[in-house]
Each structure stands twice: as structure tokens, then as C-alpha cells.
Amino acid sequence: MLTDLTLIELRDKLWAGDVTSVQATEAVLARIAAVDGRLLSFLTVTPEIALAQAQSADQRLAQGERTPLLGIPVALKAIICNKDVPTSAGSKILEGFRPPYDAFVTQQLKQAGAVILGMTNTDEFAMGSSTENSAYQTTRNPWNTALVPGGSSGGSAAAVAAGLTFGALGSDTGGSIRQPAALCNVVGLRPTYGRVSRWGVVAYASSLDQVGPLGRDVRSAAAVLSTIAGHDERDSTSLPHPVPNYEAALTGDIRGLRVGVPREYFVEGIQPDVEAAVRSAIQKLADLGAEIVEISLPHTHYALPIYYLIATAEASANLARYDGIRFGPRIQGTDVRDTTMKTRGLFGPEVKNRIMLGTFVLSAGYYDAYYGKALKARTLLGRDFQRAFEQVDVIATPTSPSTAFPIGERAADPIAMYLSDIYTVSLNLSAGCGISIPCGFDGAGLPIGLQLLANTLQEPTLLNAAFAYEQATEWGKQRCQL
């Protein structure tokens, strides 16, 4: 079936003329109609727009144009502005919002000739690790629909894993691309902060948010990154560095690559099957010629509290605009205060929790005690990584301490839920880039992810290390049965 192909395999067929973009688009739209009623990975599907884009792509292909994503059906996480298409961020406070413009990444995809199928589900404002915090629906894991797909980009990860799209964009504030990628057996890449513009992306925590791709294999993720990366003057944090050809970096040769293994990441609490699979993956890297080096990231145990102080503080500031006056709907009250309170009542419980925590740590008398200290600790954590990258080229860790868990299991225990991101938040707080790739299955047949991290703008090295492992194993080729 066409929907079993990777993005790159479909591209090869498009370039050879064996299939048209319209045929590929019709195939995934039919699969969405057939199975997404069980998965609930999409919030909005736009078949008319997608087929029109596919027809345009076929014309460009017929004229001999060959670009990495021309004619490829992809999906967007519902926090990424897509002109005139509902972009709710998974929240009732943005229900029915149709952006009057495209985000930078959406522009890049459209200019490249990609076919945009619609908007995927997300935890509200990307705040969550299971996609259970969406105000609209809970996405199911395609490997077992009683389980979560991870979050907050769970809709994108589930859609890619189930063959509902050939690639998707997610966002990663504390692991929201990598963690669902691990739980759904796909590849998820969090680029260097500033490598991909955040312009037109609904903000959660501005110093941590980063858009990145999800795909069925490493080459697919590289092709998408090559398209969406680049400088954007509308984003003050956008990096001005030229964009390399990420696909060309995938040689598969990692002889002499130094791979760091942080001792702090293999501690009590990790699921035994996960530890075994990740250690086996590290050994495979050694078999391929990499040098394995034990390293230390001593401030790792502070990462979660640092993250939940800084991220919530930034969320408190960013979400202040949804007040019934400037942004979002207005629920009229008796006065301005009452109007604001009623309007903000549309926020879900998790978003309210994070706004309140963020407002508290920024308030007079507590700023220095909490937020100020968190910023200083973030600096120390960043120095840990810089020292580590003086010794090694990449760092190898588990992506998640466990495989997918049952829907509702951690809903009443926020600490257990937050621990889902214990291996991913450090990267967002420091620098560099990270990727999750399939590396095995647990005893229940659920996917396990290997996380690789590299220094700032070292995506070519990171992708090649991931590619070498992927080519030497069969984990990523396994498909879920729906």
C-alpha cells in the first residue's frame, strides 16, 4: 500500500513517475477516513485544500521540478498557523480561530510544494506528555489504542506511525517531539533552538519552544528539516546560519564517533526493558565503530524543577494575552475583571495549573527565591552539556523512562506525568539538538526510543549517527496493525 511507504520512498516514486501526488494524497485521506475514528490523531482534515495542492504539485513534477517535499502529504500540529484553517492549539479559548497568515514553517512547506492534510491533535497549548490535555479529544497510540501516544505532539506522532501522513511537524518545549516519537516507534527530531523559526507558532515557553519534524525514518526527518530550517527576520531568536543539505550528511559511517553515556540517566525508576534496549543500542553503535565514553551531567536531577519553573513563568506571560479583550473570544461579564475571569475559564485544568504556578514564581517576594534561582541553575545545566561536548560528539540516553502507559493512569498524578519528560527536558534548557529513533520493544510489544543529543547546530552529526544505527537495525521498519 502507498501508505506503508516512508516519505523518501514515496518521493522516489513521485520522481520516477510511478505515482502521482493526487494518488498519494487520496490514499492517505482514505486511510484517515478509515482509521482515525479510532485514533483521533487529527483535529482538522482539509481534503479539498490537500487535493488542490496535490494537483499543483503534479504540474510542477511534470515540468521536471525536483525538490525534497514536492507532492508529499504532511500534517501540522495544531499550534502552527495555517492560513484560514482552524488552529486551536488544542484549547477551547482558540476554538474556531482561523489564522489570517501562515507560520514561517507553513510557508516553507507550501513553497516546497508539500501537501498539507490538516491539523493534528495536541495537549492544550502544548502543555502535556500524553495528549490527554487536549480540550477536544484524547489521541490513541496506534500500537495499542488503550494507551497514550505521548505528548504534546501525540497527534503528529500517532498519524505518522499509523500511515495517515508521510511526515508531520510537532513542537518540542520539554520533549514533546521526542517522547511521543519514542512511544509510537517513529523518528522525532528537535533541532537547535533558533534553527527553525517560531514565527506563527502559538507560544508556550518562548525560550524553550522549537518546531521539528516527525517521520518514519531518519532520512525523512532530514528532508523535512532541510525544508523548514532557515533564517527568518520576524523571529528575533532565528539563527542566521546557512542551512546545510542534511540528507547529504547521511553517510552511515560513524567510525571514530565519540558517544557519551551519562551515568545519571540510568538510575532507579527506568523500566527494565527500556534500559536493556537502550544499552543494546549503545553497544550496536560501538559495533559500528563508535567509541563509547562514560560521562557525567551532574545537574541532571535539577532539570525537571528548573523546567517547570521557567516554562510555567514564560507560559504565564505568554498566555496573559488571552483576556477577552486582545486575543481569543470574549465572555462578557459585569466589568473588565469579570469578563477576564469568565473568558479565562475556557482554559483547561493543566493550563490553569501552569499559569498559576508561573504567576506565583514571578510574583513579588518569590521571584528571586524561585525563578531567579532556576535561571542560575539552568546556566549550570548548560555548562554540564558544554563540558560533555568537549569530550564527545553525541550523547546517548533513553528517550522516555517507560513505554506507553494506559490512558487515564497518570491523569490524577501530575508528578508521575511530569517524570515522563525526565530524559528530554535537559536539552531544551541547555543547547544543541536531539533525536529519538526506534530501538526495540518491551515485553508487551510496545516501542522503545533511543535518544541521541548533539551540540548546537550539529544536526548533520546527529542525523548521521541516528541513520547509521537505523540502517543496522530493523526496529524502525516495524509497522503497527490497525
- DSSP for 222-261 reads HHHHHHH-S--TTSTT---PPPP-TGGG-----TT-EEEE
d(CA 398, CA 78): 27
CB 76 within 8 A of CB 86: no
Query: Phi, psi at residue 428, to the nearest 5°?
Result: -65, -30
DSSP designation for 438 = E
Is residue 141 classed exposed, middle or buried when 0-12, 13-18 and 19+ CB atoms within 10 A define those classes? buried
Q: Which residue carries 504556578 as its cell? A: 357
176 catalytic per annotation: yes
**Annotated active-site residue in 176, 197, 400, 430:** 176
**Annotated active-site residue in 152, 220, 226, 430:** 152
Measured over all CA atoms, what is the biggest interatomic distance in the chain, rounded to whole angstroms? 70
d(CA 414, CA 125): 17
Structure-derived torsion over alpha carbons of residues 108, 205, 307, 260, reported in degrees to the nearest 10:
20
CB 109 within 8 A of CB 227: yes
Q: What burial letters (b/e) apply to 368-379, b meaning 16+ CB within 10 Å?
A: eebbebbeebbe
296 catalytic per annotation: no
d(CA 189, CA 434): 6
Angle at 122 between CA 167 and CA 8, to 5 degrees: 5
The three grid cell numbers given for residue 213, joined into one nine-digit string: 519534524
**Annotated active-site residue in 21, 77, 134, 220:** 77
CA 424 distance to own-chain centroid:
11
d(CA 207, CA 311): 8
The three grid cell numbers given for residue 371, joined into one nine-digit string: 525563578
First to last CA, the chain: 14
Cα radius of gyration (the chain): 21
d(CA 90, CA 95): 8
> Residues near 77 by Cβ (< 8 Å), separated by ≥ 6?
119, 120, 122, 126, 153, 155, 156, 168, 169, 170, 171
d(CA 365, CA 244): 47
153 catalytic per annotation: no
Q: Which helix (H) or strand (E) holds 380?
A: helix 373-391
CB 297 within 8 A of CB 385: yes
Torsional class of 185: left (φ above 0), alpha (ψ -120 to 50), beta (otherwise): left
Catalytic sites, residue numbers: 77, 152, 176
